[in-house]
Amino acid sequence: MDPRALAWLGSGVAIGFAALGGAIGIGTIFARAIESSARQPEALPLVQRLMFIGFALVEAQVLYALLIAFMLVFKKA
Amino acid sequence: MELNLSVTSEVVMLWVAGALTLMALTIGARLVARSAAVSGRFANLVDAMVGFARTSIAEEFLGEHSARWFGFVGSLFFFILFCNILGKLPIPGFETPTADINVTGALAVMVFVVAQVVGMFKLGPIGYFKKKFLLPGAPMLLRILMIPIMVLVLLAEPFSLAVRLFANMFAGHMVMLTFATAEMVGGVWLLHHQNWAVKSVATLPFALTVILLGFEFFVAFIQAFIFALLSALYLSESLEEHH
């Protein structure tokens, strides 16, 4: 099989699974944040702060995978 | 290797973003200061945005240091916001400077260096390295073994900061480009079809592009917010005396 084709296939698989994991993580974070701020509206600033840190940390993993995908797509030979 | 400092279109866009930030904030500040009661739409917008940056970024994360560091974090927020928005405006020749890894990398390295230098001034070089590289509350052997991992953790901060902003802006452009290409290739072809129902499908990529553009403005705001927020977080980690 052509190595370029394998690289493209790999980049698709990489970003697909990364998006799956990121979607689960971000969904959980926001669901819990909404839940807890509905239960305790006065805790909203703290919840919001932790929520954005968690969001950024989860998103970073997906973006590492995106970087790997780019590296695979633009791989020479 | 020679350092290439030629003025590219992205450098010009950075100048434009900087000039816009300076103009919007100074004019807004003048207007807000001149009349507290009636100040108009623009002054209200600037007032609300600065207030938002002050309360939910600076005061939230930096606490007692917020008054001193709000200038840095707030400028980062507004500059990145203008950078992100520039390429989304439908003006020919405008592009997003933050969709380039070099720009975001430079911003992240700047934040990283500022945070480390501030920490070193605060605790002294030895105390600072002790705080950053030695795992607190662990046996001595484990602490020494953990030093490489702590270095990696520290270096991951600016890396993720740069890659996050770059990837979000770049991916947004790619998605919009894909839909716009679908409109130009598939949509125009469908427009020549006899059937009206098939013809109406041709508007679908265009509608999606418009919706995505709105979403991209939201992403531009959120990413500027997160960049400034994480910068404030890293700064506050360096500014605090102990964990």
Express each pLDDT in A25-60 by its tens digit: 999 999 999 999 999 988 888 888 888 888 888 888
Per the structure, the complete domain to which residue B135 belongs is given by 9-239
B99-158 residues touching A, CB cutoff 8 A: none
B160-179 residues touching A, CB cutoff 8 A: 160, 163-164, 167-168, 171
Task: Count A/B contacts: CB-CB distance under 8 Å.
Answer: 32
Residue contact A45–B164, C-beta within 8 A? no
Residue contact A56–B56, C-beta within 8 A? no
B91 occurs within a structural domain = yes
ipTM above 0.95, yes or no: no
- The span from the CA of B149 to the CA of B145, in Å, is 8
Residue contact A64–B163, C-beta within 8 A? yes
CB-based contact (8 Å) between A3 and chain B?
A: no
Contact B62, B232 (CB under 8 A): yes
In this predicted structure, the answer to whether residue A65 has a pLDDT above a threshold of 60 is yes
B21 occurs within a structural domain = yes
pLDDT for B167 equals 87
The radius of gyration computed from the CA coordinates of chain A, to the nearest angstrom, equals 17
Domains, chain A, ranges and CATH? Answer: 26-77 (1.20.20.10)
Tally of structural domains, chain B: 1
B36 occurs within a structural domain = yes
Query: Any residues with CB less than 8 A from the CB of A57 and at least 6 apart, and which?
Result: none
pLDDT for B1 equals 67
- The span from the CA of B243 to the CA of B54, in Å, is 24
Q: What is the mean pLDDT of chain B?
A: 85
Going by C-alpha positions, the residue among B92, B73, B91, B93 that lies closest to residue B81 is B73
Contact B46, B29 (CB under 8 A): yes
In this predicted structure, the answer to whether residue B243 has a pLDDT above a threshold of 60 is no
Q: Which residue has the higher pLDDT, B187 or B19?
A: B19
B67 occurs within a structural domain = yes
Residue B38: pLDDT band (50, 70, 90) is: low
Kindly report the pTM of this predicted structure: 0.84
B2 occurs within a structural domain = no
Residues of chain B contacting A60 with CB distance shorter than 8 Å: 160, 163-164
Per-residue tokens: B10: 């992205």
Per-residue tokens: B169: 């802006």
**Tens of pLDDT along B128-179?**
888 778 777 778 888 888 888 888 888 888 988 998 899 888 888 888 888 8
